[in-house]
Structure 1
Amino acid sequence: MMIQPLLKKILFVILVFSLARSGYAQNPLITNQYTADPSARVFGDRVYIYPSHDILCTEGKGRIGWFCMEDYHVFSSSNLTDWKDHGVIVSQDKVPWVDPAGYSMWAPDCISRNGKYYFYFPSRARDTVANGKGFSIGVAVSDTPIGPFVPQSEPIKKVQGIDPNVFIDKDGQAYLYWSQGNIYGAKLKENMLELASDPVILQELPSEGLKEGPYVFERNGKYYMTYPHVQNKIERLEYAIGDNPLGPFRKAGVIMDESSTGCWTNHHSIVNFKKQWYLFYHHNDLSPNFDKNRSIRADSLLFNTDGTIRKVIPTLRGIGLSSALKEIQLDRYSDLSRNGVKVDFLDTANRMMGWKATLAQSDAWIRYNAVDFSVSKLKKLHVRAWSAQGAVLEIRVNKIDGPLIDKVNIGSSTDWKLVTSSKASVLRGVHDLFVVLKSADPVSVDWIRFEK
């Protein structure tokens, strides 16, 4: 007789997690699979991200303890908050020249020209006699940004290396960049499939330490060569500026410092979307103990008046407005009180379920910025929380002692519960949310959501 209520509870939990983990949280952008090396592109009114796809190597499947990648997905968004997975676009067993047991589909790129979309990707070739040892770079072509992409039968001739990047200058000339010890560049033919010039080593970049992952863009007549570089033991993102797409470039500074938690790699792209520049990069958020399984992130990027780039400080909040009607992940906070707040995984056995924020002492608080309340006046507030002794939360806007939206009593429980209040009241517009603990006993919060 207890089967039906238990089944309802299980279905409810599945529904809650499927909704909460579908991409509403900010950094990392994708939480249902590992993603790395994001190549972001603006096509039309959407941002498309072409990342590599980390998986865990197992016996007979890649090199255990190393990077392992067998295919590519593409993701897109119109608002930088909700990301749609369009599925696999290229896989190692569907490319004629790629070793189908190589698991080395590393960092890619994509570009649009003359109504076609050209997807560039590196991998190990099955025929090393014809294509050379190490990595080659191939191209797959599509009529749309999401495919289907048709791979060419052979990789690009005279190109050996990884991390392809393509840039089309204002005069229509296309360039291909890649790395193999040094960073190389060459002109591309109009067909985007062949080199139009011999490769050259780009000059005036750091001579010591690993450098890879080139990404070139133009702004105000200046060409920015950006790249990860190992100055010490961990990659940091650096850049150089030149007057020509093939340099020479002068070293200009650091875009992002080394990972504070020890993630060895970083790999990035930079785009301008709706008059704002963004940096896309990766970190091992979902795999803190193994930095070969990474997750893509994004943060705003700003320029100084002289054209230099302001250093980007990584955030959990990331970019985009969060709709008040969708789950707001407080653990992806903008700021929090110095004491009394802890963020941890909901389940360390399944980290892709995401995180929770625990407020452990009275007056501890979390700020989550840029929540969109532009819809009709909202009256209901849902909080997914857990407190063993029970707790009281105040929800305010714009500052810690700002206008009170609601005061929510979280009853005592032995597991997560959904608490609903019908007293919420907030003006339309975009506001920062403050969640403040107003009781002595701790509470863990997964998310909050508003309703009409």
Structure 2
Amino acid sequence: MKPARLAMLTFCFAVLFLHAGAQNPLIRNQYSADPTARVFGDRVYIYPSHDILATEGKGRVGWFCMEDYHVFSSANLTDWTDHGVIVTQNKVPWVRPDSYSMWAPDCIERNGKYYFYFPTTPNDTVAYGRGFRIGVAVADKPTGPFVPQPEPIKEVRGIDPNVFIDNDGQAYLYWSAGNIYGAKLKSNMLELDSEVKTLGELPTKGLKEGPYLFERNGIYYLTYPHVENKTERLEYATSDHPLGPFKFAGVIMDESASGCWTNHHSFIQFRNQWYLFYHDKDYSPRFDKARSIRADSLFFNADGTIKKVIPTLRGIGVTNAGSEIQVDRYSAISNDGVSVDFIDTANRFAGWKTNFTKHNGWIQYNNVDFGSTSPKRIAVNAMSENGGTLQIRTGNYDGPVIAEVTVPGSGGFAVSKAAVVKAVRNRQNLFVTSKDDKKISVDWVRFE
């Protein structure tokens, strides 16, 4: 087989079969940020930016560094497929190829075409001026291939493009550059069709960026990250028109507990549930320019105001009991005797482990689907220097024991199995508890 043919087959295999987990962060094999989620057909697609670590001669060391974009999709919010690179800085005619500034994008469908909007720096400052411009790439499918337009959108300077199409078919483009701006788009989705309007009814103190506009029950929600104090929190304002005037309405998500300086987000409604997509620095706790995307459920009050979203590790989606259940992405955890840390600090994409050190220490993982037939066995990938015993429960941390797993003493992770002694079916909340005071580290559990 020719090398080129083999390379193409290898790439296609990766695109088809590279999956990410259901928990937060959603993407488990690379850094990702600034997620725009969209529902196209019966799937959810995420268009994030792609953080990489800058090195000498490749970006600005210690700063944001992005050279391309991937797209991910899922039919169930649990299994995410990486469809590979869709746009890269070296293949856009007007982009400076060494800019490494492919920042927060967006994508929207109109009349069977998919329009991907992205900000970056141009290669010709005489023609396009200094600073960021916003370009468009067009495709026939949400996964591409996307063909970049030869020039950026005229009269638009800034970052964080967002596109909204109203019920009457009028499209709008929003972006940020110190303030947040909006304008109508022509039906070709490539040119402005109105004067640029500064959306000036928002808080004036601190940085505002990353606009995302959506409509629900006749209310237009303009949402954006805002530095009220030291780092960004997500806020929103409402109006009865896509270009305002807007009235400040509240905070969607508080400043990150991790101290991540940025946040950037989007909203979708999928199968009658609303979701918020955002980012944090899960895989890079000491460097907030290498971020990871997350998602949590979103709810509204009866008057249309948004209930504040509390970030979770468990995230969204239902986990199949037959998959490797990462209990370290927990829904709740006991106050004593349980902790979570990286399996390998030199390779954080290897994930996390749950450390049990005290009798009755427990961790809770919600929404596990056992189906209509109870499993026969459970497998646990765990490590314990002196050996120990885990109990698997449902319902509550002191609920019925469905399995008891003995983990032998060893110097590394190994799979231990045990019988499921009490039938378990349908969707359940799962609890892993320690039977003794011996240290046991758990990577995952799986039912068979």
TM-score strictly above 0.5: yes
What is the match of residue 313 of structure 2?
Answer: 316
* One-letter code aligned to 1:91: T
Change (3 A) 1:250 1:68: same
> 1:24, 1:327 within 8 Å by CA — same for their partners in 2?
no
Q: Distance in 2 between matches of 1:375 and 1:141?
A: 44
* One-letter code aligned to 1:350: N
Match of 2:407 among 378, 392, 410: 410
Q: Distance in 2 between matches of 1:24 and 1:185?
A: 36
Shift of 1:389: 1.1
> 1:173, 1:187 within 8 Å by CA — same for their partners in 2?
yes
Equivalent residues in 2 for 1:98-113, closer than 5 Å: 98-113=95-110
What is the match of residue 11 of structure 1?
Answer: none
Q: Distance in 2 between matches of 1:84 and 1:118?
A: 20
Q: Distance in 2 between matches of 1:390 and 1:319?
A: 34
Match of 1:250 among 243, 247, 251: 247
Q: Is it true that 1:446 corresponds to 2:417 in the alignment? A: no
Q: Structure 1, residues 287-341: CA drift from partner, whole Å, max 9, x if none?
A: 0010000000000000011110011000000000001010000100000111111
* CA RMSD in angstroms, aligned pairs only: 1.0
What is the match of residue 13 of structure 1?
Answer: none
Helix, strand or coil at the partner of 1:194: coil
What is the match of residue 49 of structure 1?
Answer: 46
Equivalent residues in 2 for 1:28-427, closer than 5 Å: 28-374=25-371, 376-427=373-424
* One-letter code aligned to 1:296: I
Q: Distance in 2 between matches of 1:404 and 1:434?
A: 9
Q: Structure 1, residues 361-380: CA drift from partner, whole Å, max 9, x if none?
A: 00000000000111532112
What is the match of residue 12 of structure 1?
Answer: none
> 2:236, 2:250 within 8 Å by CA — same for their partners in 1?
yes
> 2:22, 2:80 within 8 Å by CA — same for their partners in 1?
no
Shift of 1:442: 1.4
Shift of 1:398: 1.3
* One-letter code aligned to 1:80: L
> 1:25, 1:328 within 8 Å by CA — same for their partners in 2?
no
Helix, strand or coil at the partner of 2:182: strand
Helix, strand or coil at the partner of 2:126: helix
Q: Structure 1, residues 385-424: CA drift from partner, whole Å, max 9, x if none?
A: 0111111111011112222210111111111111012335
State the TM-score, normalized to the length of structure 1: 0.94
> 2:21, 2:27 within 8 Å by CA — same for their partners in 1?
no
Q: How many residues align?
A: 431
- Taking every aligned residue pair, what percent have the same amino acid on both sides? 67
Helix, strand or coil at the partner of 2:25: coil
Helix, strand or coil at the partner of 2:20: coil
> 1:98, 1:126 within 8 Å by CA — same for their partners in 2?
yes
Q: Distance in 2 between matches of 1:103 and 1:148?
A: 21
> 1:92, 1:103 within 8 Å by CA — same for their partners in 2?
yes
Q: Distance in 1 between matches of 2:398 and 2:133?
A: 58
Q: Distance in 1 between matches of 2:423 and 2:307?
A: 35
